[in-house]
Copies of this chain bind each other. A is one copy, B any other.
Amino acid sequence: MTAIETLPLARKLGAYMALSQAERTLISDLHQSCKPVAAGRRLVDQGQSNHLAYILSAGWACSYKILPNGARQIVDFHIPGDFLGLRHVLLHTSDHTIESITDSEVADVPVKELLEILSRNPRLVTAVLWAASRDEAMVVEHLVNIGRRSAVGRMAHFLLELGSRLKLVGLGDKQGYVCPLTQYHLADALGLTAVHVNRVLRQLRENGLLTFRHGVVTFDDYHALSTMADFDPTYLDQAGTTSIVTMRNRCPAQ
């Protein structure tokens, strides 16, 4: 297995369409500036203009908005293989902040370079737009989650979604996944208080559906949990996902 094949972005886009060796090389080229980023570093600031886009190749990050009253709404979490701030490069200012949650590895992607690489391969344009469309479908689902699901339903739906996304890049399966999120992250993503998050997680555990403990989410009964949460992963559009293998999710060797 070569380094290129271990890139989460290649794995993710590969779920959308079979990638040629040339396309894999282009994806690898996008990672040339890959560098470590410490936990808690802001990559994009709300209100900032003219910033770069990024590819997250290892670690977790989140996008959020801070309201004038100090309340925080987390819009999405980002996992290896995700673009960060891709859409902001078109708007004149970023509409939210992106911050690393864990120690991570991130590649800068100057827009000009991205467009140049994509112009060499129109098929890859479609794959990148697919990834962007999927990101938007997730935000829509988060809106539905907060607007119309019970606290326990939205928690279950959210952790199932993360599980499916992680599965796509080889970092989880139907048993569960390693998850660095705190109760505060979950509260700010789901429109709950931290106390409420604890209560909801206890309820899921006591009902034999899911356990989130010591940084690991375990699906105790995946089927029953999916049914309870009305989780239909169609919007993630990853039906063709290949089987899970353990992969190194690192930058390619420099």
**Which B residues are CB-close (under 8 A) to A95?**
137, 140-141, 234-235
A44 interface residue, CB < 8 Å from B?
no
Instruction: Give the shortest distance, in Å, between A48 (CB) and chain B (any CB).
Output: 11
* A contact residues vs B (CB 8 Å cutoff): 47, 65, 67-69, 71-73, 75, 87-88, 90-93, 95-96, 126, 129-130, 132-137, 139-144, 146-149, 190-191, 230, 234-235, 237, 239
Q: How far is the CA of A141 from the CA of B237 in the complex (A)?
A: 24
On whether the beta carbons of B144 and A65 are closer than 8 Å, the reply is: yes
Which of B67, B91, B92, B148 contacts A73, CB < 8 Å?
A: B148
Q: How many copies does the complex hold?
A: 2
On whether the beta carbons of B92 and A239 are closer than 8 Å, the reply is: yes
Instruction: Give the shortest distance, in Å, between A109 (CB) and chain B (any CB).
Output: 15
On whether the beta carbons of B133 and A73 are closer than 8 Å, the reply is: no
Given the interface pairs A87-B137, A141-B95, the reply to whether A146 lies near B146 with Cβ below 8 Å is yes
Q: How far is the CA of A149 from the CA of B71 in the complex (A)?
A: 9
On whether the beta carbons of B143 and A91 are closer than 8 Å, the reply is: no
Q: How far is the CA of A4 from the CA of B75 in the complex (A)?
A: 38
Starting from the known contacts A73-B143, A142-B143, A148-B191, 10 additional A-B residue pairs (CB-CB under 8 Å) come to A47-B234, A65-B144, A67-B149, A75-B140, A90-B129, A91-B133, A95-B137, A136-B136, A139-B143, A143-B146
**Which B residues are CB-close (under 8 A) to A47?**
234
On whether the beta carbons of A91 and B140 are closer than 8 Å, the reply is: no
Q: How far is the CA of A67 from the CA of B133 in the complex (A)?
A: 21
Instruction: Give the shortest distance, in Å, between A82 (CB) and chain B (any CB).
Output: 15
On whether the beta carbons of B147 and A73 are closer than 8 Å, the reply is: yes
**Which B residues are CB-close (under 8 A) to A143?**
73, 75, 139, 142-143, 146
Instruction: Give the shortest distance, in Å, between A62 (CB) and chain B (any CB).
Output: 13
Instruction: Give the shortest distance, in Å, between A227 (CB) and chain B (any CB).
Output: 10
25 contacts across the A-B interface (CB closer than 8 A): A67-B144, A67-B149, A69-B230, A72-B148, A73-B148, A75-B143, A75-B144, A87-B132, A88-B133, A90-B126, A90-B129, A91-B130, A91-B137, A92-B237, A95-B137, A95-B141, A95-B234, A95-B235, A135-B136, A136-B136, A139-B139, A143-B146, A146-B147, A146-B191, A147-B191
